[in-house]
A and B are shown apart, each in its own frame.
Chain A
Amino acid sequence: MSPDLHHLSGAYSVDALDRDERSAFESHLAECEACRSEVTELSATAHSLAVLAEAGPPASLRTAVLAGISQVRPLPPLTADDAAEDADDEPTIVGPTTPMGGEAGVARAGATVIPLFRRTTTWIAAAAAAAVLAVGGAAWSPWSADQPTLSALQRVIQAPDAATVTSHKGAVTATLAYSRELNRSALTVTGMPPAPDGHTYQLWYMGSDEVARSAGFLTPSPDGRAEAVLAGGLTGAAAVGVTVEPTGGSAAPTGQPIMVMAVA
């Protein structure tokens, strides 16, 4: 392979080649396994920078997108015949030759991105997307005065430095109240279906050292409500998450979180 072309892998991965260079490099990619593999990794790496730019689109855009797709038939999958053109002994990585052409642009990213990386991204992205921070406990209203955890809940809520984070996912609303001073947090949810058979909802503190620590379980009542004071201290936690785990719980999360709330 030409050393010159090889050194374009980084620039290609961030779309920093002009059109001529791009098509030259894509021809090279078809023949250079080392570059394909490098582009896969460097693209996935570059996309992690997008977290620095997150911004919510207007609601009207969602409406427009969903109205738009209803008018468009998804393309069929590539068949063996289609694939034969690209077939090598290695998976072929082909970048889109035109931005919206899409036909060939499907397979470029991330062959070696392991599930751990994906899941981490999901946890954090969910926290970033979901967090609506309101300092103060004014909006807090426990539903049942006879919950055994009520006094602990109230202590958290009424702490002078109490803060709440509310997360909405579909019909589920979750509110986390926490107090750094008390070193405690409590979670309340509504609209939550029962955990699937043989499973339970497990709570986690996720540290800024990126280690998840079990913080107990959450069991919704038949009307979809649940509340729990999290087990263990808040110290070191940067987020609280909920996963679905086999009954009895797990030592570490085994599935993707259904909710993540960042704590300040």
Chain B
Amino acid sequence: MMYLMTAASPVPTTSDSGGAAASSPDLAELLRRSARGDEESFARLYDATSRRVFGLVLRVVRDHAMSEEVTQEVYLDVWRTSARFDAQKGSALSWLMTIAHRAAVDRVRSSESSRRRDDAHATSAQAVAFDETAEAAEASLEAQRVRKALSTLTEAQRSAVELAYLGGYTHTEVAKLLGLPLGTAKTRIRDGLIRLRDTLGVPA
């Protein structure tokens, strides 16, 4: 079940009507305006999404300075390719997060950055700091909903999905980390995502 279940049909928002709508960004519209070179719309897009993007990148990359670099590159790429976003093919947020996740993962897989992540990983203080920054998000409704959905997965599915998505590991690495036979982690990841999808209500 989701909010707005009872709304008969989506009604166009009043997103062109000025101040009020200025604080309720329609991300797809902001992307369309960005594609026309509207830097102010892009700034609003950044403000609406940067916690999500930076948080994910930081979770994967771990190194704070490197996470800032990656996040900056992500937004530059989003700006550059904003005209290629197609709302018919998915949400703006999903498009943005796809770019961000791919960038974070590719960064940590280069050897230099793997080393830096390993260093950061070895420092337990880093993990503590992360947990603190995550506190606010943990309290949010959506985090609760996602946690609840994750709890419906088997332990192997949940671990595999989290290590892959939030840890940025390949399915081969996930198999080793979990002591699974080679080749089975990809199945665990897929099964886990399918169950998550069904629980979270992303339509089939």
A contact set with B: CB distance below 8 Å: 7-11, 13-18, 40-58, 61-62, 64-66, 68-70, 72-78, 91, 93, 95-96, 98-100, 102-103, 105-129, 131, 169-172, 192-193, 195-196, 199, 201, 206, 208-212, 238-239, 243-244, 250-259, 262, 264
Contacts and interface: CB of A to CB of B under 8 A. Distances in A.
Contact of A51 (B3, B50, B86, B137): B137
Interface in B1-26: 1-7, 10-11, 13-15, 17-24, 26
Contacts of B19: 170-172, 192-193
Instruction: From A68, A169, A251, name the one whose CB has the most chain B CB atoms within 10 angstroms.
Output: A169
Interface residues of B, number: 115
Interface of B is mostly: helix
A251 B194 CA distance: 33
B41 to A, nearest CB: 11
A52 B166 contact: yes
A56 to B, nearest CB: 5
B102 interface: yes
B6 A252 contact: yes
Given A11-B171, A115-B10, A244-B20, A61 B186 contact: no
Interface string B118-142: 0000000000001001101111111
Contact of B35 (A40, A65, A77, A129): A77
Contact of A77 (B73, B83, B191): B83
A74 B34 contact: yes
Contacts of B113: none
B90 A16 contact: no
A102 B76 CA distance: 10
Given A7-B186, A53-B134, A127 B191 contact: no
Nearest to A124: B142
A72 B20 CA distance: 30
Interface of B: 1-7, 10-11, 13-15, 17-24, 26-27, 34-37, 39, 42-43, 46-48, 50-56, 58-59, 68, 71-73, 75-77, 79-86, 88-91, 93-95, 97-99, 101-103, 105-107, 130, 133-134, 136-147, 150, 161-162, 164-166, 168-172, 174, 185-187, 189-194, 196-197, 200-204
Contacts of B134: 52-55
Contacts of B27: 122
A106 B95 contact: yes
Contacts of A129: 48, 51
